[in-house]
Structure 1
Amino acid sequence: MSEQRGGALLRTMASSERATFLELFFDLVFVFALTRVSQRLITDLDGSGETMVAGVGRTLLLFLVLWHVWTITTWVTSRYEPERIVIQALVVGTAFGSLVLGVTLPRALEERALPFVLAYVVMMVGRPLVIVAALRGHPRRTVPLRLAAWAGTSAPLWLAGALLPGARLPLWVVALAVDYLGTYLGWPLPRLGRSRIRSWLVAGEHLAERYQQIFLIALGESVLVIGVAYSGERFSRQGAAAFTLAFLVTALLWRIYFHRAGFLLAEALRRAGSPGRLAESAAQTHLFMVLGVLAAAVGYELVIAHPFDPAEPRWLVFVAGGPVLFLAARSRFEYEIFGRISRSRLAGLLALVLLAPVLTAGPALLALGTVAGVLALVALADARHARGRPPESSASPLGREMRGEAGPEA
């Protein structure tokens, strides 16, 4: 009887695969949190080259903490019925914890380390334990047990780093590595074994919609950065061109992402013999696409504030490097959906890499305009290739692998 009551927490064929309004509410927190990531990156640019690299590395660590929280939450709402009170309470609690992460992130490696870590540890350890209790005697309770055990293993490292400023960074790097390694390995435990994400039964349409939404969140953060940068104290005619180009680049990133592959992720997951494997790969790909968008947003702020200053190499890391990272990840995404990569994306990526050294000879505005021009050519090539042809269906090579290998806990 307890197993049946616990099983009511799981998604069924009758469950809606659309993202809930509560999940969209949860995403609002991440719009704010991602702006804190961008602002910390901007601050990191004030020092020398070595200082900048170190600062970007530290900010990347904090971003990966946010990404881990969002990803695990998405998988939770894809495995369990989001209309259940227990799951809704967990999502609301995670939203508050994520807000704490966003508030403390700008100084998380300094004086706000302890509240940052406490919010993260409580979410990562407490959430799976609540699910274990709600599942009662159901066999699938071992999956959240694994998550709680691995989160409990890294928790002392996180807390020790918060309390020991001199050892904070290396301890947190190791702790984050433990968290991501656990996810990659399937959180293996003695006697219980492991449960790889790729073997899970997932709500494909729900996951596809959530990945699309996190990409749109990143674009929304970019729009916020563009608006704030141009409407601030440096509002001027000189920045108007940079303001316009920044919005154009953002719109082109949207267009390139959603051209076919972005729309077909749900279809690819439905057709996949191993949807968990495709979803796991798509999660990794979206991580890099979102990073590319965030890096580009940093570039927007720099160019809007200093449109006619020389394009310094460290600025181009964001102005051109962000779109390069996006195109590289978007090419992988295309392979995940179709099993091939368009030459236009590879050509655009190569063009930006080759032009970057030349762009240092001109103003920052010219660099941003060049990026917009290259992305526009990629988008036009997509439109030309699709003209007069029937819509292409998904043919994911990942979905054809591991068919029928889902275990009893899937």
Structure 2
Amino acid sequence: MAEQRGGALLRSASSPGRATFLELFFDLVFVFALTRVSQRLIDGIDGSAGAVAADVGRTLLLFMVLWQVWTITTWVTSRYEPERVVIQAVVVGTMFGSLVLGVTLPRALEERALPFALAYVAVMLGRPLAIAVALRGHPRRLVPVRLAAWAAASAPLWLAGALLPGPRLALWVVALAVDHLGTLLGWPLPGIGASRIRQWLVTGEHIAERYQQIFLIALGESILVIGVTYSGKEFSGEAAAAFAISFLITALLWRIYFYRAGHLLAEALRTAGTPGRLAESAAQTHLFMVLGVLSAAAGYELVIAHPFDPSRPNWLVFVVGGPALFLAARSRFEYEIFGRVSRSRLAGLLALVLLLPAFATMPAMLALGAVAVVLALVAFADARRAWHRPPEHSASPIGRETLGEASPEA
């Protein structure tokens, strides 16, 4: 009886494959939280190259905390029925914890370290415990038990870092490494082993839609940065041009992502022999694409605010580095879906790298315009390749093999 009650939390074949309104509601917090990431990047832009690199590294640490929360929540809503009250309570509780993370993130390594760490530990430990209790005697309860055990192992490091300013950064780096190592290894525990994500039975349409949505959230954060920065300036022709180019680049990033690999992710997951393996790989790829978009957004703010200032090397890290990181990750995404990488994407990435010395001699807006031209050529090459040809279908080389009979935890 207990197993039947716990099993009612699991998604059934009749459950809708699409993302729910609950998940869209949850994502609203991340629109705000990602703006805090971009703002922290902007706040640390001045200074020596070493100081900027150190600040980018610290911001990356805080972003990875947000990414860990969002990713695990996505797996929860993919494996469990989001219409159940328990799951809704877990998601809404995670949403509040994520809001606290976003509010404290700009000063999380300073005076707001304790509420940041407490919110993260509460989410990472409370969420699997609540699900494990709700699953009762069901075999799948061992998965959240594993997550809770690993979260409990890293919690002292997070809390010690919050209370000890000196070794804070080092302790949090180790704590985050423990959390990500657990995810990578399947949270192994003595006596019950591991549960690797790549072995899970996943709802392909749902996972694909959630990845698409986090990418759109990052684009939405870019639009927010563009609008807020331009509305806060005195209107001028130079700022208006930078505003328009920034929007164009955002639109091109959307076009390049969705055409056509972004559209076919659900199909690739649906036809994969081991969809969990492809989903795990795609999660890593989307991490870098989202980072590229956020970095580009920081570049927009710099250029709109100072359109004809010389392009400082620190600025080019964001103005050029963001789109370059996106193209590199998007190339990997194309391989995950089609088993190939288009030459146009590699050429665009190479062009951005080779043009860096020239960008350093240009006004910031001209460098941003050159980035827009490179991305437009990549998008044009995509469209040209598809002219008078039937639509492609996925041919992913990842997850072709099958795992045989699934375990009760899958």
Range class of TM-score, shorter chain = over 0.9
Query: Does the aligned pair in 2 maintain the 1:199–1:405 contact within 8 Å?
Result: no
Aligned to 1:211: 211
Aligned to 2:383: 383
**Percent of aligned positions that are identical:** 80
Aligned to 2:242: 242
Gaps (5+ residues) in structure 1?
none
Cα offset, 1:234, TM superposition? 4.3
In the alignment, residue 171 of structure 2 is paired with which amino acid?
Answer: L
Query: Does the aligned pair in 2 maintain the 1:311–1:359 contact within 8 Å?
Result: yes
Cα offset, 1:408, TM superposition? 3.0
Q: Counterpart of 1:171 in 2: which secondary structure? A: helix
Supply the distance in 2 between the matched residues of 1:388 and 1:404 (Cα, whole angstroms).
Answer: 40
Query: Does the aligned pair in 2 maintain the 1:226–1:246 contact within 8 Å?
Result: yes
Supply the distance in 2 between the matched residues of 1:314 and 1:110 (Cα, whole angstroms).
Answer: 23
Supply the distance in 1 between the matched residues of 2:348 and 2:401 (Cα, whole angstroms).
Answer: 31
Aligned to 2:259: 259
Cα offset, 1:313, TM superposition? 1.1
Find out whether 1:372 has 2:372 as its counterpart: yes
> Cα deviation per residue 1:367-386 (whole Å; 9 max; x = unaligned)?
00000000000000000000
Q: Counterpart of 2:16 in 1: which secondary structure? A: coil
Aligned to 1:312: 312
Aligned to 1:184: 184
> Cα deviation per residue 1:188-212 (whole Å; 9 max; x = unaligned)?
0000100000000111100000000
Aligned-residue Cα RMSD (Å) equals 0.8
Query: Does the aligned pair in 2 maintain the 1:239–1:307 contact within 8 Å?
Result: yes
> Cα deviation per residue 1:55-95 (whole Å; 9 max; x = unaligned)?
11000000000000000000000000011110011111111
Query: Does the aligned pair in 1 maintain the 2:233–2:305 contact within 8 Å?
Result: no
Query: Does the aligned pair in 2 maintain the 1:117–1:162 contact within 8 Å?
Result: yes
Find out whether 1:404 has 2:393 as its counterpart: no
Supply the distance in 1 between the matched residues of 2:369 and 2:351 (Cα, whole angstroms).
Answer: 14
* Within-5 A mapping of 1:323-342: 323-342=323-342
Matched residue count: 410
In the alignment, residue 256 of structure 2 is paired with which amino acid?
Answer: I
Aligned to 1:300: 300
Cα offset, 1:50, TM superposition? 1.2
Query: Does the aligned pair in 2 maintain the 1:273–1:404 contact within 8 Å?
Result: no
Query: Does the aligned pair in 1 maintain the 2:215–2:289 contact within 8 Å?
Result: yes
Cα offset, 1:409, TM superposition? 1.3
Supply the distance in 2 between the matched residues of 1:219 and 1:375 (Cα, whole angstroms).
Answer: 15
Query: Does the aligned pair in 1 maintain the 2:117–2:162 contact within 8 Å?
Result: yes
In the alignment, residue 85 of structure 1 is paired with which amino acid?
Answer: V
Supply the distance in 2 between the matched residues of 1:398 and 1:336 (Cα, whole angstroms).
Answer: 6
> Cα deviation per residue 1:241-295 (whole Å; 9 max; x = unaligned)?
1000000000000000000100000000100110000000000000000000000
Give the TM-score taking structure 2 as reference length: 0.99
Q: Provide runs of 4+ in structure 1 moved above 6 Å.
A: none
Cα offset, 1:405, TM superposition? 6.3
Aligned to 1:91: 91
Aligned to 2:174: 174
In the alignment, residue 255 of structure 1 is paired with which amino acid?
Answer: R
> Cα deviation per residue 1:100-157 (whole Å; 9 max; x = unaligned)?
0000000000000000010000000000000000000000100000000000000000
Query: Does the aligned pair in 1 maintain the 2:199–2:403 contact within 8 Å?
Result: no
Cα offset, 1:26, TM superposition? 0.6
